[in-house]
Amino acid sequence: MNYEIVIGLEVHVQSKTKSKIFCHCSSEYFGADANSHTCPVCLGLPGALPVPNKYAIDLCVKLALALNCSINKRTKFDRKSYFYPDLSKGYQISQYDLPIGFEGQIKLTLKDGEKTIHIKRIHQEEDTGKSIHNGMTTLLDYNKSGVALIEIVTEPDFNSAEEVKIFADNLRQTVRYLDISDADMEKGQMRFELNMSLRPVGQQELPRYKVEIKNIGSISVLEKVIETEVIRQSEILDAGQVPDQETRGLVNMNGKTRSQRKKESESDYRYFPEPDIPVLEFSDRYITEMRESLSELPDARRVRYMNDYGFDLYMSSVITADKDVATQFENMIFGIEDKNLIKESAKWFIGENLAMRAKGIPHENFSTLWLPLIVKGIIEKRYTKETAVEIFREAFIKGGDPSVTIQSTQFAIVNDSNVIDVAVAKIISANEKAVTDFQSGKNPNAIMFIIGQVMKELKGKADISVIRASVEKLLGV
Amino acid sequence: MDISQLHQYLMIMSNLKDLTISQASKLLEKKEISAVELTNETLSLIDSEDKDINAFITITKEKALEQAKEIDSKRNLGEKLSKLAGIPYSLKDVYQVKGIKTTAGSKILENYQSQYDATVYAKLSKSGAVLIGKTNCDPFGFGSSTENSAFGATHNPINKDYVPGGSSGGSGAAIAYGAGLFSIGEDTGGSIRCPASFCGIFGLKPTYGRVSRYGSIAYASSYDCVGPMAKTAEDTALLLEVIAGQDEHDATSSPNNVPRYTETLTQSLEGKVIGLPKEYFTDALDPEVRQIIMLAVDKYKSLGCIIKDISLPYTKYSVAAYYVVGISEASSNLARYDGVRYGFRAEGNDWKEIYMNTRGQAFTDEEKRRVLVGTYALSSGYADQYYKKAQKVRQLLRQDFQRAFTEVDIILTPTMPVLPFKIGEKTDDPLKLWLVDAFTTAINPVGVPAMSVPAGNSKGLPVGMQLITPHFEEGKLLNFAHQFETA
Amino acid sequence: MTKKVTNEEVAKIANLAMIALTPEEIEKYRKQFEAILEYVDILNEIDTNSIEVENHTELKNIFKEDIVKDELSQKDALINREKIAINGYFPITSVFNDNE
């Protein structure tokens, strides 16, 4: 039987703050010695008290706005109680019924159209410590305990692994663009949980069960999990059964999951308002301020490049894929009005520039700010494209100011028709056979050979169409 | 020192019990005694007396002498020092003092070595006060008699068969026998006021948020107050000046300015209206206590006060509302005691067993009772009926006081409905002890400041009266207390 | 109205609160539960439907700045478990088959 996939996603993103959400410990703990970035608050010592990090709240509000959420102007923290060794207080400070953001949405650009994903809520919470299982012993490191964490929950709007991937990529790009998080998956800065079930194709109601899969640390594994779950759940449904409503964990990086030991009945988190933290009230002015500080998101920028500069989707996508690359590009074309120059520079930016970088050629000394200058020379026909490539590569590797090189006559295009005619005459007289082959019609391409030789004679510093015209003239074409 | 000075010195030293901060401060300033001498005398007293009283869990002898020496040398160098410099004091054992054992009176922290300083301790250190020890208390503040402590009961120095009150009973007892000239207690439902009443001293629960809670081991986060206990209103006023103020480590601490409480102690009470809520003067009130309180009321009349009968109609619900919210928050605040990072750790085959055994073995009866019922009150299916309901009743208690303060300047009640009782007298029934808090428990849910003032003795046992004002009017409390004391 | 509490309920709460109780203790606390719940039942006399709960503090928007300071040294963090700490970690016994 064919089934439709129904998925809701929960994403946790570590905020890019210097300090943790409720204390002044550094949140840049990756690679540090165990328990070297803790304090009474995040270690859960008796008598310690939490104080919220303003900047972390700003980031959460910004993300909520970027995802088109409504903002709860009056919001608070709540205690979520459960026991686990990595939870130092025996409760996590989170948000329950008044999350910072709610009812948002984001449009995904799919292969065959657009799709809207609804965001149920976004809230601020704290991360837990890290446990390392070492045989019969679990080792606990509380450096991660208290790091600011933003939780994003979607409605069960996803119907394919592709949609989930696009959303996840999009979200990752967004948080990086907005400097809300580095979303470095290897450092665990972005984690996924999904709720997934299957229903017969065409059924509108949500399936009566859902399977929760936790702690997925990369987008590729996310896709694999969906694939394996489709198979697993289909098999059960095909057999006339209903998959257990349960929580499953990852077994391996190929997406295989297994049932986790069920916690006694359902977890009773006993939420109640956090008495140690006074309520938060956002003024309209503050929300406007946060909204205005949102930099242009990748989607909007892509569309702008296509509309304003005539870039195609491929060019736009390559440039906007990474925030740093996009910023570099923006800096490069800053102040340039000539749209043709912008477009040509963009091609070089992608072509030569990114190609050289991809080869790993060191480029610290080269600034992409010189690119338009080099490209301009081609447009103005001061030298050939081949010459320009030489200039570029030399400048890329050696660095420095290439404008001197660009100006030097060494590269100048030969424009003097006399010089060209002389060279053409020389080549024609030295290549009788080619001339004869061409003129007799035996080998029409022989003219290309002659043109090529002339170019070589002129050391590549002539416009090929001018050479061609001269050769054709002298051969009486 | 000449003969008269020596005489005075010996008189004072043998009478540490009556020595006030004010007096000691002057002597220290004039260098008639040194901080080290005063500290040593105090330590000797503790050495000889505390075994029968058990006011202390830890005596910080080395630290005390170190602090005292430093004060003496500073003073000898001519530095201007605060009034508290060189004054020996104790802290209820719920306050973190780095490097020192801090137990909260519980077995689960019996060997816990403190890793940071409570703000109140940092402030007192800065003022030069000398910490002589950490005092006994009911575990985590759970109690009104200091009988629940894992470190044995504290005896009331006034009559050792009797309880000193609780939960800051060790603090009350310490001051009562002269072991330190003041103490910092902690009050969640009467824990400063009750021992102040039973030990015949002054105890002030400030407005919620007046003094930083950072480093004070939590019982109920929305009730807990850090407060001074001392022998005179003036001493208490001085202490509040030093310890009050906003703290960046405590998000609930108030940014309100700290008034100069010591400068308004002698304002006239002429024409001020004192409210006597009828709900605190029912037949349930011990007649001996009533008599002393009414005599106190007469004294206020003679100072020019007008007495008015008022009503706080929701009083009878205050104990229930107080406990439901209080133990709910407590059950959450005690969740961190799991044996992983500090404190008592039991054996177990895995972490779950370790958790369960640790808490099962190290929590006493009262701790278990409160954590269990608190967990129940927050649990799914019951939270609306218990926790949320109690929070709503709390609102009604607030309104009671708001209304009353439109009619009167200050409210006066007995601190406790009974005289101090004997050790063991009320330990058979947990509810009995809970009900002893009847007059103090309405205060913390509302957050207003309240103070217990020694009002007299009956059968040789002290009786305290409770004064209550609107939020942040501690100046008025201390004024009323001082005028009564010095009349 | 007397509230009845079963031993099962007490056991369930003890589990939730992570406190090991013997069967005798379960019975003991069950009785106390009932007494306490009966006492606090007095709150049901009051109609609180129209009551809005206010906060226990009037403060709002109390924040800290995003700066790094006041961290404990690793030694201080571990000091109450120094004898059993392993390479700077706090050790605890794993639950068999515990998935994180």
User: How is residue B104 annotated by DSSP?
Assistant: T
> Is residue B5 scored above 90 in pLDDT?
no
- For CA atoms B61, B62, B67, B73, the dihedral sign is positive
List all residues 6 or more positions away from B328 whose beta carbon is below 8 Å from its beta carbon.
A272, B374, B377, B378, B386, B387, B390
Residues 39-68, chain C, touching A (beta carbon < 8 A): 55-57, 59-68
Percentage above 90 pLDDT, chain A:
51
Which residues of chain A are within 8 Å of residue C67 when distances are taken between CB atoms? Answer: 18-19, 24
| Strand A74-75 relative to strand A257-259, pairing | unpaired
- Give the pLDDT confidence of B352-395 residue by residue, as tens digits: 999 999 999 999 999 999 999 999 999 998 999 999 999 999 99
- Give the pLDDT confidence of A28-56 residue by residue, as tens digits: 999 999 999 999 999 999 999 999 999 99
When scoring B333, B334, B357, B395 by the number of chain A Cβ atoms within 10 A, the one with the most, hence best to mutate, is: B333
Asked if residue C11 is part of any domain, the answer here is yes
Of chain A, the end-to-end C-alpha distance in Å amounts to: 71
Architecture per CATH, domain A417-474, reads as Orthogonal Bundle (1.10)
Which residues of chain C are within 8 Å of residue A29 when distances are taken between CB atoms? Answer: none
Percentage above 70 pLDDT, chain B:
97
DSSP-assigned states of every residue in A45-58: -TT-----BHHHHH
B320·C42 Cβ contact <8 A: yes
How far apart (Å, rounded) are the C-alpha atoms in residues A275 and B425? 35
- Whether the CB-CB separation of B82 and B242 falls below 8 Å is answered with yes
How far apart (Å, rounded) are the C-alpha atoms in residues B215 and B116? 8
* A164, containing H or E segment: helix A161-177
Predicted local distance difference test score (pLDDT) of residue B336: 98
Q: What rounded mean pLDDT belongs to chain A?
A: 89
User: How is residue A26 annotated by DSSP?
Assistant: B
Which residues of chain A are within 8 Å of residue B351 when distances are taken between CB atoms? Answer: 85, 138
Asked if residue C100 is part of any domain, the answer here is no
> Is residue A1 scored above 90 in pLDDT?
no
User: Which one, of A214, A273, A276, A268, lies nearest residue A82 by Cα?
Assistant: A268
Q: What angle do CA B466, B471, B474 make, to 5 degrees?
A: 55
Percentage above 90 pLDDT, chain B:
94
* A362, containing H or E segment: none
Q: Which tokens sit at A283?
A: 């003024």
Torsions phi, psi for B252 (to 5 deg)? -100, 5
List all residues 6 or more positions away from A369 whose beta carbon is below 8 Å from its beta carbon.
A331, A332
How far apart (Å, rounded) are the C-alpha atoms in residues A72 and A61? 10
Helices and strands in chain C, H and E counts: 3, 1
CATH number at B124 reads 3.90.1300.10
Instruction: Provide mean pLDDT across the span B423-445.
Output: 90
Backbone Cα Rg of chain C: 23
Which residues of chain C are within 8 Å of residue A35 when distances are taken between CB atoms? Answer: 74, 77-78, 88-90
Q: How far is B327 from chain A (nearest CA, A)?
A: 13
How far apart (Å, rounded) are the C-alpha atoms in residues A91 and B218? 14
Asked if residue C13 is part of any domain, the answer here is yes
User: Which one, of A301, A304, A347, A343, lies nearest residue A326 by Cα?
Assistant: A301
> Is residue A409 scored above 80 in pLDDT?
no
Which residues of chain B are within 8 Å of residue A50 when distances are taken between CB atoms? Answer: 251
> Is residue B46 scored above 50 in pLDDT?
yes
Residues pairing with B113 in the sheet: B101
- Work out how many domains chain B is built from and give that number: 1
Asked if residue B446 is part of any domain, the answer here is no
Active-site entry in B167, B168, B171, B216 = B167
- Give the pLDDT confidence of A10-25 residue by residue, as tens digits: 999 999 999 999 999 9
> Is residue A247 scored above 70 in pLDDT?
yes
How far apart (Å, rounded) are the C-alpha atoms in residues B413 and B284? 13
C57·B209 Cβ contact <8 A: yes
A272·B251 Cβ contact <8 A: no
CATH number at C16 reads 1.10.20
- Whether the CB-CB separation of A150 and A100 falls below 8 Å is answered with no
Instruction: Provide mean pLDDT across the span C44-70.
Output: 95
> What's the complex ipTM?
0.96
B408 class by beta-carbon count within 10 Å (0-12 exposed, 13-18 middle, 19+ buried): buried
List all residues 6 or more positions away from C47 whose beta carbon is below 8 Å from its beta carbon.
none
Strands (DSSP E) contained in A211-344 are 211-216, 247-250, 257-259, 272-273, 280-281
User: Which one, of B487, B483, B480, B486, lies nearest residue B204 by Cα?
Assistant: B480
> Is residue B322 scored above 70 in pLDDT?
yes
Is B212 a known active-site residue? no
Instruction: Provide mean pLDDT across the span B142-171.
Output: 97
- Work out how many domains chain C is built from and give that number: 1
C56·B348 Cβ contact <8 A: no
Predicted local distance difference test score (pLDDT) of residue A264: 39
Tell me whether C69 touches chain A (CB under 8 Å). Answer: yes
Asked if residue B296 is part of any domain, the answer here is no
Chain B residues with a Cβ under 8 Å from any Cβ in chain A: 94-96, 102, 104, 109, 112, 115-116, 118, 213-218, 220-222, 248-252, 328-329, 332, 334-338, 340-342, 351-352, 355, 375, 378-380, 383, 387
- For CA atoms A379, A382, A383, A388, the dihedral sign is negative
- Give the pLDDT confidence of B229-254 residue by residue, as tens digits: 999 999 999 999 999 999 999 999 99
Asked if residue C84 is part of any domain, the answer here is no
Of chain B, the end-to-end C-alpha distance in Å amounts to: 34
Active-site entry in B34, B63, B83, B92 = B92
Instruction: Name the least confident of A58-62, A131-135, C23-27, C56-60.
Output: A131-135
When scoring A35, A37, A248 by the number of chain C Cβ atoms within 10 A, the one with the most, hence best to mutate, is: A35
Asked if residue B148 is part of any domain, the answer here is yes
Strand order in the sheet with A137-141: A130-134, A137-141, C90-93
C64·A53 Cβ contact <8 A: yes
* B134, containing H or E segment: strand B130-135
Residues in chain B: 487
Instruction: Provide mean pLDDT across the span A108-122.
Output: 92
- Whether the CB-CB separation of A93 and A274 falls below 8 Å is answered with yes
How far apart (Å, rounded) are the C-alpha atoms in residues B239 and A253? 62
Neighbours of chain C (3+ CB pairs under 8 A): A, B
Q: How far is C49 from chain A (nearest CA, A)?
A: 19
User: Which one, of A49, A51, A62, lies nearest residue A15 by Cα?
Assistant: A62
For chain A, the domains span: 3-289, 296-411, 417-474
B112·C80 Cβ contact <8 A: yes
- For CA atoms A215, A219, A224, A229, the dihedral sign is positive
* C55, containing H or E segment: none
| Strand A101-110 relative to strand A91-94, pairing | unpaired
Q: How far is B61 from chain C (nearest CA, A)?
A: 22
User: Which one, of B294, B217, B220, B224, lies nearest residue B465 by Cα?
Assistant: B294
How far apart (Å, rounded) are the C-alpha atoms in residues B351 and B332? 19
Question: Which pLDDT band, with edges at 50, 70 and 90, does A467 fall under?
Answer: confident
Q: CB atoms < 10 A from the CB of C44, how many?
A: 12
pTM score over 0.95: no
Torsions phi, psi for A254 (to 5 deg)? -95, 5
> Is residue A210 scored above 50 in pLDDT?
yes
Is B328 a known active-site residue? no
A24·C71 Cβ contact <8 A: yes
Neighbours of chain B (3+ CB pairs under 8 A): A, C
* A140, containing H or E segment: strand A137-141
Closest-CA residue of chain B to C91: B340
Is B17 a known active-site residue? no
Asked if residue C63 is part of any domain, the answer here is no
List all residues 6 or more positions away from A285 whose beta carbon is below 8 Å from its beta carbon.
none
- Whether the CB-CB separation of A461 and A412 falls below 8 Å is answered with yes
Domain with C11, as residue range(s), is 7-45
Domain with B96, as residue range(s), is 3-263
Highest mean pLDDT, choosing among A367-376, B10-19, B44-53: B44-53
Q: CB atoms < 10 A from the CB of A418, how many?
A: 8
How far apart (Å, rounded) are the C-alpha atoms in residues B410 and B443? 13
User: Which one, of A63, A26, A102, A67, lies nearest residue A180 by Cα?
Assistant: A63
